[in-house]
């Protein structure tokens, strides 16, 4: 047997209380040994990772991959390569493509393009309703059988709670997980940023926190009634965190994530009418940001990228008319490490929130343990990376870090033992 030998790396896996400098041996795509040399075989390749971290590959619970249909914004190849640059090995792709990912044919196309690209593994999220229109149920079992890890309506609304209940009942019957985003469209209609003093001062229409919490309350009540397994995507308010905590206390098995942008920025970033900060869910108040950070540190929330690449023209309109979204794959790692450096986010909590917790949500056997598939990222925390537009792997140039140089760079990424970056 021939081994890849990574030596002197700091192995970090919070799920296994692992944080030590050690060696790891990989053969035939799996971890053969940690901390000791296998009894037989020979070393084919050695990597000296002194001063670097080896962590379970990051798993993104929600990203907008623009293919099929929006090739001016990027491709599956360009965006999965950008994801690898921040340590992602698995990406849950949202179904708001063109055509919508509501058929096995579209799911197959996504899987084939991802396999051909050869970077991060793409785990499709299928549309819960036909065309994401929120009226007629999609072929949920067919989508699940085609390889969808869960179903979602993304940020598109359900026609009413009756349709939502039917989706939940159907999913519960067949054991299909649902990823739901909480937003009351009637309360959010016309808004482009968080409703608060900054929006008032700037004369922009706001989206109140109750647009999220009102919808979340309905989702939690229906989930309790139907017994469906749900994950709440893109939580953005302190009140939502408290509601989820209460729901878990009452025995509801619900998981949730928050976008990285909502941990890094607040609505104050919008003060210059910079359309790069027009995102959905909107950047909220500092009190909301602190509550989200606390929930990540306590293991209550995972972190998602909410990556949404755009061409330059999509962000050139006035703030309220610009397309919402931020290209975050390239910037994800250094932005997250900034929070660690400031003492706002614990390193172990960060790694758990982007690897262990998402793996649990998806039911993946993922981590640094003997016998497991080797999907991992080697990170140099001291290395610097430039973020000028020409240096981004993502085709979307709507990155908040354009022109910046930050610490934190990925040296190598492995998916099932294969080096992809």
Per-residue pLDDT, 307: 98
Q: Which of 362, 382, 401 is the last residue of a domain?
A: 362
**Do 125 and 37 lie in a common domain?**
no
Per-residue pLDDT, 34: 97
Residues 193/136, Cβ–Cβ less than 8 Å: no
**Do 27 and 170 lie in a common domain?**
no
Per-residue pLDDT, 402: 80
Residue 367 lies in a domain: no
**Do 163 and 41 lie in a common domain?**
no
Here the CATH number for the domain that contains residue 27 is 2.30.40.10
DSSP string spanning 48-99? E-TT-EEEEPEEEEEE---TTT-TTT--HHHHHHHHHTTTEEEEEE-S-SSS
Residue 29 lies in a domain: yes
Per-residue pLDDT, 3: 92
**Do 28 and 171 lie in a common domain?**
no
Here the CATH number for the domain that contains residue 127 is 3.20.20.140
The tens place of each residue's pLDDT in the chain, 421 residues long, gives 899 999 999 999 999 999 999 999 999 999 999 999 998 888 999 999 999 999 999 999 999 999 999 999 999 999 999 999 999 999 999 999 999 999 999 999 999 999 999 999 999 999 999 999 999 999 999 999 999 999 999 999 999 999 999 999 999 999 999 999 999 999 999 999 999 999 999 999 999 999 999 999 999 999 999 999 999 999 999 999 999 999 999 999 999 999 999 999 999 999 889 999 999 999 999 999 999 999 999 999 999 999 999 999 999 999 999 999 999 999 999 999 999 999 999 999 999 999 999 999 999 999 999 999 999 999 999 999 888 888 899 999 899 888 888 999 999 999 999 999 9
Per-residue pLDDT, 389: 82
pTM recorded for the entire structure:
0.96
- In the chain, the number of structural domains is 2
Per-residue pLDDT, 164: 98
Domain of residue 224, residue span: 57-362
**Do 237 and 352 lie in a common domain?**
yes
Helix, strand, or coil here: 42? strand
Q: Which of 313, 333, 362 is the last residue of a domain?
A: 362
- In this structure, are strands 2-13 and 53-56 parallel, antiparallel, or unpaired? parallel
**Do 61 and 48 lie in a common domain?**
no
**Do 397 and 358 lie in a common domain?**
no
**Do 49 and 63 lie in a common domain?**
no
**Do 351 and 385 lie in a common domain?**
no
**Do 97 and 184 lie in a common domain?**
yes
Per-residue pLDDT, 226: 97
**Do 232 and 256 lie in a common domain?**
yes
**Do 15 and 119 lie in a common domain?**
no
Residue 186 lies in a domain: yes
Per-residue pLDDT, 41: 86
Checking phi first, is residue 306 left (phi over 0); if not, alpha (psi -120 to 50) or beta? Answer: left
Per-residue pLDDT, 390: 85
């Amino acid at each position: 047997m021939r081994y890849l030998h990574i030596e002197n790396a700091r192995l970090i896996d919070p799920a296994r209380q692992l944080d030590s400098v050690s060696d790891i041996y990989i053969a035939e795509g799996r971890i053969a040994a940690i901390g000791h040399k296998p009894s037989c075989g020979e070393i084919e390749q050695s990597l000296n990772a002194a001063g670097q971290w080896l962590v379970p590959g990051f798993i993104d619970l929600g990203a907008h991959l623009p293919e099929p249909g929006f090739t001016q914004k990027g491709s599956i190849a360009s965006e999965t390569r950008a994801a690898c640059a921040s340590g992602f090995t698995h990406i849950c792709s949202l179904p708001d493509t063109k055509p919508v990912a509501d058929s096995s044919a579209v799911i197959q196309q996504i899987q084939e393009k991802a396999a051909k690209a050869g970077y991060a593994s793409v785990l499709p999220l299928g549309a819960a309703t036909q065309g994401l229109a929120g009226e007629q149920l999609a072929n949920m079992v067919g989508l699940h059988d085609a390889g969808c890890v869960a179903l979602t309506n993304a940020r598109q609304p359900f026609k009413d709670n009756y349709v939502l209940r039917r989706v939940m009942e159907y999913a519960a019957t067949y054991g299909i997980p649902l990823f739901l985003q909480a937003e009351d469209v009637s309360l959010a209609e016309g808004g482009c940023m968080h409703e608060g003093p900054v929006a008032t001062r700037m004369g922009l229409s706001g989206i109140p926190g109750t647009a999220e919490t009102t919808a979340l309350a309905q989702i939690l009540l229906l989930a309790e009634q139907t017994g469906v397994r749900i994950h709440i995507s893109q939580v953005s308010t302190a009140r939502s965190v408290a509601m989820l905590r209460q729901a878990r206390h009452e025995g509801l098995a619900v998981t949730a994530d928050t976008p990285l942008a909502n941990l890094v920025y607040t609505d104050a970033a919008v003060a210059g009418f910079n359309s790069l900060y027009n995102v959905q869910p909107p950047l909220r108040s500092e009190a909301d940001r602190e509550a989200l950070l606390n929930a990540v540190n306590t293991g209550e929330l995972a972190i998602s990228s909410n990556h949404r690449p755009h061409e330059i023209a999509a962000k050139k309109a006035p703030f309220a008319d610009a397309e919402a979204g931020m290209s975050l794959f390239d910037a994800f790692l250094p932005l997250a490490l900034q929070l660690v450096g400031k003492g706002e986010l614990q390193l172990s909590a960060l790694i758990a929130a982007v690897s262990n917790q998402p793996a649990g949500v998806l039911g993946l056997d993922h981590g640094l343990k003997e016998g497991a598939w080797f999907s991992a990222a080697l990170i140099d925390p001291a290395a610097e990376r430039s973020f000028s537009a020409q240096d981004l792997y993502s085709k979307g140039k709507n990155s908040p870090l354009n022109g910046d140089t930050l610490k934190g760079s990925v040296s190598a990424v492995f998916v099932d033992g294969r080096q992809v970056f």
